[in-house]
Each structure stands twice: as structure tokens, then as C-alpha cells.
Structure 1
């Protein structure tokens, strides 16, 4: 019998010394440079960690494993969720991987998993940017949306899972089940592609979406709104 995965992971390679990358992940003043709005950490086995990620999101837990310059685990206080961070020296830098492990991950819908991994990927890319070029890009994250949850389609496009009531997407006539293949002529390759395309638009800008609904293809126009939660 094939074991169902109870974890999801993102990784990136950062061209910086191991010690600097380790500090970036384990010291509050360094975390605040690329990731957290506020971090409070007692970085030792049995110590507590708290992180305010911005946009109304926070996390906290206890450090249960620490292998200096290699690996550490932050586990939720109820023991049901663990964030595993690992560093590996590779030819062109340090490979940083962040894995989320919990029994309920198997039961999460695909859209929620993609959302979680997209956010992690955004911050890991910012780690790379800050430590390779000194550029902090957080001011460009989560600026706009249209008010939908969605999930990648095999072969391209993203499928609308739900439409927020009274959102711009609802006003435009988007429905759950619609598949978005293009935004202003740009191909939508999946979840991340759609999020980035929308986020590159200005607040109150009108965009054109190419939609497939019940095998029929047509266009809808939708106004882009400010993301509902500020940094």
C-alpha cells in the first residue's frame, strides 16, 4: 500500500555562506530582514518561538530539535503541526528547505496547500533576494486580489473553487468551477501564475479574464481590489 504524504515542502538555493543563512533563519533580528514583521525566539530545544509574518498571520510553537547549521524543528504547542527547516551545502550555495508536517495535511484541499506553499515560496525567494542582492521585496507581496480561491489545473489554467460574496470577482460574474486560462492576454499556468499576474496589477485596474465554463470559452472583465488584509 502506498503511504499518503502528510507533508508539503518548498526549497531554494541561496548563494551565501552557511553561517549567514543559518543566522537568517534562527536569529530574530535577521528574520526581520527578510521574513517576519516581528520575531521573538528562545532558540534552544524546549524554547518557544513566535513569528508575526504580516498580513494578519502569526505562528508559534516550541523548538523540539536543533542540529546547528543543519536542521531545526518548530512544533505547535498541541503537537499536531511541525515546521522542519533544513540547510544543505550544495555546489552553488546553501539549499534551504521548509517542510510542513501534520496529519491533517492529507485532508487539506489542494487550494489550501497551494496557498501555503505559495506563501512559503514568496518568502524563500525574498531570503534569496536579501542575501544575494540586498533587495527586500515584501512591499510587493499580497497587494491586490479579486476575491477567489482557486487551484491549478493539469496542463495549465486555474479552477475557481469559491468566490467571496460581494467581491469584485462576484460582481464580475465569476462562478465556482470556472477555469481561468488567461489574464490580459497572459497565459495562466496555474495557482502561482494567477496570483502573480493579479498582484502585478494596480488597485482599481480592470483586467480581462479568459474563462472556460461548461466547455464554453468567453471573456469577463473584472476590477482588481486591494488585498483585504494590510501588511
Structure 2
């Protein structure tokens, strides 16, 4: 592994036997239960892994290291992005860690990193749900948005708008760059993830009332919620 690469990660604990969690992460028929729309896995060192996550997103790479029941490494075809998946027995089950390593992570915008980790966190929550309760939540993921790119604002405890998509519901509502969203429908927003979850709970074509800090003003802005542009 290239130690010069920067890394970010997400973790979750799944209350299930180690063997079941390992199969959930390495066998296509199990991946399709909680994660992928379609998976093609040749699970061996040098084997290819292809995963269609849905919503227009795919992952493809080569397995470079495998330690059964402990970890495996998938490196993308360009060799510049590495995904390390590891398992560890803990008190209440199996801790699953997904770590991304790449030299360019240090150059990524924080909003892009947060978006990537939010997606990973959603899927890990679904892994936990499927293997603990049998409930698959993917039909409720990424069904709504308002058309902004945003990032956590730690100073105010909200999420800061860094880009508004032209012609989007947010643009029509008058939301602008540097607005800080601190609430939706009276519920506090304190970071990127809480905003994404709150918007996704809204039905497309409904209206969300956003509480926004703009300079020294606090505003209430009604914004139509749009269907997410890429369906599952």
C-alpha cells in the first residue's frame, strides 16, 4: 500500500456472525441484498470486482490483498484509489470499516468528501438493517434533493451552500452561495449529513421551509423539493 495516500473512513457495528458479514461483503448474491443493484465478483487476488450501486454510480477494480474474515483491498483500474474493507469482532457484533485511500483526497473539496462518506454511511446503515432486521431501505435513499452542493459549517453548526445548480429548485427559491442552512421544517440542521437525511425524508414536489443564516440575517425560505435526478 502507498503510505503517501490520504485516507477517510466510515465504520459500523453489525450484530451478526462474522461469516455472514464476510459473505455480505464478498459474494455478489449477498451484496445485492443490501448494497448493489448488480455485482460481478471474482473474489481472489488479481480478480476483478464490479459493482453497480444504482443512481448512476459504479465501482470497478482489482482485488490486491485478501485475508479471509479479516480484510480485503480493492484498487481501481487506474491504481490511484484504494478501498480497504476490514472486519473486527467487538462486544456487540462485527465492526465493519470502509477506508478510502488516495493521494488526491487531500486536494478534494470538503463537500465532495462529505458526500462520498455520507453515501458510504447510508449503505453501511442498510447493511446493519438488512442483517439485523431483514429490512432493506434502499428504495428510500436518494429520492429527493433541492439542487445544492454544501458542506458542514462547524462555526455555526449548519451546512454551508457552496454551489447552487442553475435552474434548480434552490435557485428558484433564491438560495445563494454562502447561505448556511440551520433548519428544515423547524428541525435543526447541524451538518452535511443531517441536511441530506432531512431533505430525503421529503416527498418530491413538496415544499421544505429552510431556516437560513445569510450574513447577519436569519431567513425562512420555502423551497420545492425535486425528485433526485438519477433514479435507482
TM-score (norm 2): 0.97
Give secondary structure in 1 for the equivalent of 2:204.
Answer: coil
- Alpha-carbon distance between aligned partners in 2 of 1:17 and 1:221, rounded to the nearest angstrom: 47
In the alignment, the residues of structure 2 paired with residue 90 and residue 212 of structure 1 have an alpha-carbon distance, to the nearest angstrom, of 42
Contact 1:4 1:106 in 2 (8 A): no
- Measured after TM superposition, the shift of residue 189 of structure 1 is 1.3
Q: TM-score, normalised by structure 1?
A: 0.97
Distance 2:216 2:107 in 1: 29
Count of aligned pairs: 229
Structure 1 gap segments, 5+ residues each: none
Deviations along 1:98-126, one digit per CA (max 9) or x if unpaired, are: 00000000000000000000000000000
Residues 144, 227 of structure 2: 8 Å contact kept: yes
The 5 Å alignment of 1:88-127 reads: 88-127=88-127
What SS does structure 1 have at the residue aligned with 2:45?
A: coil
* RMSD, aligned α-carbons: 1.2
Q: Show structure 2 runs of 5+ residues with no match.
A: none
**Are the counterparts in 2 of residues 183 and 207 from structure 1 also a CA contact under 8 Å?**
yes
User: Which residue of the partner structure matches residue 27 of structure 2?
Assistant: 27
1:159 aligns with 2:163: no
CA distance in 2 between counterparts of 1:90 and 1:190 reads 28
**Divergent runs of 4+, >2 A:** none
Q: Within the alignment, does 1:193 sit opposite 2:188 as a pair?
A: no
Shift of 1:131: 0.3
Secondary structure of residue in 1 paired with 2:175:
coil
2:219 corresponds to 1:218: yes
1:18 aligned onto 2:18: yes
